[in-house]
Amino acid sequence: MQLIMSPTSPYARKVRIALREKDLPFEPVVDIPWNDDTHVPDFNPLGKIPVLRLDDGSTLYDSRVIVQYLEQVRPAPALMPADAAARIAVLRWEALADGLVDAAATVFLERKRPAAMQDNAWIARQQGKIARALAAMERDLAGRRWCVGDSFSLADIAVGCALGYLDLRLPQPWREAHPALAALCARLGERSAFAETVPPQ
Domain end point (choices 23, 42, 73): 73
DSSP string, 62-99: SHHHHHHHHHHH--SS-SS-SSHHHHHHHHHHHHHHHH
User: What does pTM read for this prediction?
Assistant: 0.96
CB 67 within 8 A of CB 14: yes
Both 129 and 176 in one domain: the answer is yes
Both 49 and 96 in one domain: the answer is no
Per residue in 53-85, pLDDT tens?
999 999 999 999 999 999 999 999 999 999 999
Both 124 and 176 in one domain: the answer is yes
Per residue in 6-20, pLDDT tens?
999 999 999 999 999
Both 65 and 104 in one domain: the answer is no
Domain end point (choices 73, 102, 129): 73
Which pLDDT band holds residue 175 (cuts at 50, 70, 90)?
A: very high
Q: Which residues of 110-136 are buried (b: 16+ CB within 10 A; e: fewer)?
A: eeeeeeeeeeeeebeebbebbeebbee
Domain end point (choices 14, 47, 73): 73
Q: Is residue 155 part of a domain?
A: yes
- On the question of pLDDT at 201 being above 90, the answer is no
Quote the number of domains for the chain.
2
The dihedrals phi and psi of 64, each to the nearest 5 degrees, come to -65, -40
Q: Smallest Cα–Cα separation from 102: which of 157, 43, 184, 165?
A: 165
The domain that contains 150 carries what CATH number?
A: 1.20.1050.10
Per residue in 89-132, pLDDT tens?
999 999 999 999 999 999 999 999 999 999 999 999 999 999 99
